[in-house]
Amino acid sequence: MSAGQSGSGNVFTHLLEELGDHHGFYIGPHKVLDLPVILWDEGRLHLYPSTKAMEAAGLYRMVEGKIVRSSTGAPPALDLSITNLVAYQWLGMLLLGIVLWRSVRRYRRNPLAPPRGLQNAIEAIALFVRDSIVRPNISNERLGNRLLPYFLTLFFFILVLNLLGLLPGGHTATGNLAVTGVLAAIAFLVINGGALVTIGPKAWLRHLLGGGPLWLSPILVPIEIIGMFAKAFALCVRLFANMVAGHTALLSLVGLIFFFGTVLIAPISVAFSVFVYFLETLVAFLQAYIFTILTAVFLGLASEHHEH
């Protein structure tokens, strides 16, 4: 029997399944604790402390990692369960909140003392976002100052989630389309909402003409509207694809050891894994930067009067 036909041949499928979401809190492939299942179905709210309790109740069951009705096999109307990636987002927000709270408290205790350690890193990143991302791309100073907290939150949130996925056993929430889709949807609202408030509805509608004459509006307006949604879609897919690609490469390199069933491949696999790991660390920072700066660029373009 060849290596690809042996039981170890399924190692790639098993490892890549770890990139998905799960009904439980996982560190690596190991389930640490159960997470509550929350379902809205047939006009009722169903609450279960775990998937085991849900299946014991008899109304729903798990099929290939998805919740379906026991009677019909159809999914529930709305699944609001707290999943593994939701838990990692909460963990990221908790860690970020603690770090920022400690930095702010240190400033308040001694505002004239030079920053040091983690406080210095937080200040450097905050100044970088303000001076190199927001202000150069958003010419309206008032709008940039008002939305600076949003851009800081966006950068730090994406960065922390990316880095959590690089910890041993960690999972990357930004490697899920639902997470990046929501981030892109919020960016879409910020871009167009900020433009409407800054230049007004009339000037915003003129952007839909793209500088063309009014009689071309049946052609230009749909194209510009598609372009608005395409920008948000690009933000969503770019972040998702880059984070998944790196983790897929890492898991595939590790899986080679089990696939061939020999330690002789281990030095090559480990060496390439270390290289990809450091590359992924760079990508974690780079993708947070790209998402944030593109949002600022799109907002700056949308909030300018067309003649400018």
Sorted by where each begins, the domain ranges of the chain are 36-81, 84-302
Are 219 and 208 in contact by the 8 Å Cβ rule? The answer is no
For the cut 90, the answer to whether the pLDDT of residue 18 exceeds it is no
Q: What per-residue confidence (pLDDT) applies to 304?
A: 78
Q: What per-residue confidence (pLDDT) applies to 306?
A: 55
Q: Which band of pLDDT confidence, cut at 50, 70 and 90, is reported for residue 19?
A: low
Phi and psi torsions of 32, nearest 5°: -90, -45
Non-local (6+) Cβ contacts of 175 within 8 A are: 19, 165, 240, 243, 244, 247
Are 254 and 273 in contact by the 8 Å Cβ rule? The answer is yes
Per DSSP, the residues of 84-150 read: HHHHHHHHHHHHHHHHHHHHHHHHHH-TTSPP-HHHHHHHHHHHHIIIIIIHHH---HHHHHHHHHH
Q: Please tell me the distance from the alpha carbon of residue 236 to that of residue 286, in angstroms, as a whole number.
A: 15
Q: Which band of pLDDT confidence, cut at 50, 70 and 90, is reported for residue 16?
A: low
Mean pLDDT of 186-209: 86
Dump pLDDT digits (tens) for 116-168. Answer: 888 888 989 999 999 999 999 998 889 999 999 999 999 999 999 999 988 88
Helix (H) or strand (E) holding 52: helix 51-57
For the cut 70, the answer to whether the pLDDT of residue 6 exceeds it is no
Q: What is the DSSP letter of 168?
A: T
Are 156 and 121 in contact by the 8 Å Cβ rule? The answer is no
Kindly give the pairing relationship between strand 37-41 and strand 78-79: antiparallel
Give me the residue label for tokens 């200040």: 123
Distances (CA, A) of 135 to 140, 143, 145, 297: 8, 10, 8, 10
Is 199 exposed, middle or buried, given 0-12, 13-18 or 19+ CB atoms closer than 10 A?
A: buried
Q: Please tell me the distance from the alpha carbon of residue 140 to that of residue 303, in angstroms, as a whole number.
A: 8
Nearest to 185 by CA among 196, 177, 173: 177
